[in-house]
Protein backbone atom coordinates (compact mmCIF):
# COMPACT_ATOMS: atom_id res chain seq x y z
CA UNK A 1 0.00 0.00 0.00
CA UNK A 2 2.85 2.42 0.79
CA UNK A 3 4.52 1.56 -2.52
CA UNK A 4 1.26 2.23 -4.32
CA UNK A 5 0.94 5.58 -2.55
CA UNK A 6 4.51 6.55 -3.53
CA UNK A 7 3.74 5.70 -7.15
CA UNK A 8 0.60 7.84 -7.00
CA UNK A 9 2.46 10.80 -5.48
CA UNK A 10 5.31 10.50 -7.99
CA UNK A 11 2.95 10.86 -10.95
CA UNK A 12 3.43 14.11 -12.81
CA UNK A 13 -0.15 15.29 -12.41
CA UNK A 14 -0.08 15.13 -8.61
CA UNK A 15 3.27 16.92 -8.41
CA UNK A 16 2.11 19.54 -10.90
CA UNK A 17 -1.02 20.09 -8.85
CA UNK A 18 0.96 20.47 -5.62
CA UNK A 19 3.31 23.01 -7.21
CA UNK A 20 0.33 24.85 -8.68
CA UNK A 21 -1.38 25.10 -5.30
CA UNK A 22 1.74 26.50 -3.61
CA UNK A 23 2.38 29.01 -6.39
CA UNK A 24 -1.30 29.95 -6.45
CA UNK A 25 -1.31 30.67 -2.72
CA UNK A 26 1.76 32.88 -3.05
CA UNK A 27 0.28 34.64 -6.07
CA UNK A 28 -2.93 35.30 -4.13
CA UNK A 29 -0.87 37.18 -1.54
CA UNK A 30 0.67 39.32 -4.27
CA UNK A 31 -2.75 40.21 -5.67
CA UNK A 32 -4.07 40.98 -2.17
CA UNK A 33 -1.14 43.33 -1.59
CA UNK A 34 -1.67 44.98 -4.99
CA UNK A 35 -5.28 45.71 -4.10
CA UNK A 36 -4.85 46.70 -0.45
CA UNK A 37 -1.55 48.57 -0.70
CA UNK A 38 -1.77 50.18 -4.15
CA UNK A 39 -5.29 50.26 -5.58
CA UNK A 40 -7.30 50.94 -2.40
CA UNK A 41 -5.31 54.06 -1.42
CA UNK A 42 -5.82 55.47 -4.94
CA UNK A 43 -9.55 54.71 -4.82
CA UNK A 44 -9.72 56.17 -1.31
CA UNK A 45 -8.02 59.34 -2.50
CA UNK A 46 -10.54 59.71 -5.33
CA UNK A 47 -13.36 59.16 -2.82
CA UNK A 48 -12.13 61.91 -0.53
CA UNK A 49 -9.78 59.98 1.72
CA UNK A 50 -12.21 57.21 2.66
CA UNK A 51 -10.89 53.73 3.39
CA UNK A 52 -12.44 51.81 0.50
CA UNK A 53 -12.36 48.47 2.31
CA UNK A 54 -14.27 49.89 5.28
CA UNK A 55 -17.12 51.40 3.24
CA UNK A 56 -20.50 50.20 4.44
CA UNK A 57 -24.16 50.99 4.80
CA UNK A 58 -25.20 50.81 8.44
CA UNK A 59 -28.65 49.27 8.76
CA UNK A 60 -28.73 49.38 12.56
CA UNK A 61 -26.32 51.10 14.92
CA UNK A 62 -24.58 49.14 17.65
CA UNK A 63 -26.55 49.09 20.88
CA UNK A 64 -24.85 48.09 24.11
CA UNK A 65 -22.99 44.85 23.46
CA UNK A 66 -24.90 44.14 20.24
CA UNK A 67 -22.74 44.96 17.20
CA UNK A 68 -23.94 47.12 14.35
CA UNK A 69 -25.73 45.55 11.42
CA UNK A 70 -24.17 46.74 8.17
CA UNK A 71 -23.74 45.89 4.52
CA UNK A 72 -19.97 45.98 4.00
CA UNK A 73 -19.89 46.63 0.27
CA UNK A 74 -16.31 47.92 0.26
CA UNK A 75 -14.90 44.61 1.44
CA UNK A 76 -17.17 42.76 -1.00
CA UNK A 77 -15.94 44.89 -3.92
CA UNK A 78 -12.35 44.24 -2.80
CA UNK A 79 -12.99 40.50 -3.00
CA UNK A 80 -14.53 40.81 -6.47
CA UNK A 81 -11.57 42.87 -7.73
CA UNK A 82 -9.17 40.31 -6.28
CA UNK A 83 -11.01 37.43 -7.97
CA UNK A 84 -11.11 39.18 -11.35
CA UNK A 85 -7.38 39.99 -11.24
CA UNK A 86 -6.43 36.44 -10.28
CA UNK A 87 -8.72 34.96 -12.95
CA UNK A 88 -7.28 37.33 -15.58
CA UNK A 89 -3.67 36.43 -14.79
CA UNK A 90 -4.49 32.71 -14.73
CA UNK A 91 -6.17 33.12 -18.12
CA UNK A 92 -3.03 34.79 -19.50
CA UNK A 93 -0.80 32.04 -18.09
CA UNK A 94 -2.98 29.25 -19.51
CA UNK A 95 -3.16 31.03 -22.87
CA UNK A 96 0.64 31.35 -22.99
CA UNK A 97 1.10 27.72 -21.94
CA UNK A 98 -1.32 26.52 -24.62
CA UNK A 99 0.43 28.63 -27.25
CA UNK A 100 3.83 27.18 -26.31
CA UNK A 101 2.47 23.64 -26.63
CA UNK A 102 1.12 24.16 -30.14
CA UNK A 103 3.15 22.59 -32.91
CA UNK A 104 3.83 25.07 -35.71
CA UNK A 105 2.36 24.09 -39.07
CA UNK A 106 5.10 23.08 -41.48
The angle formed by the CA atoms of residues 70, 75 and 78, to the nearest 5 degrees, is: 155
Q: Mind listing the pLDDT tens digit for each residue in 31-86?
A: 889 888 888 888 888 878 777 778 899 999 999 999 999 999 988 988 898 888 88
Examine the pLDDT at 105 and tell me if it is beyond 70: no
CATH top class, domain 2-101: mainly alpha
What pLDDT does residue 67 have? Answer: 93
Report how far residue 35's alpha carbon sits from residue 85's, in angstroms, rounded to the nearest whole number.
Answer: 9
pTM for this predicted structure? 0.64
- Is pLDDT above 60 for 106? no
Q: What are the residue ranges spanned by the domains of the chain?
A: 2-101
Q: What is the pLDDT of residue 103?
A: 66
Q: How many CA atoms lie within 13 A of 82 on its CB side?
A: 20
- Cβ neighbours, 10 Å, residue 56: 14
DSSP reduced 3-state for 88: helix
Amino acid sequence: MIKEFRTFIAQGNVLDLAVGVVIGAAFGKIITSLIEDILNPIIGLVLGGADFKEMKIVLKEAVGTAPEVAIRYGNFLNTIIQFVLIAWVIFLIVKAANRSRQVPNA
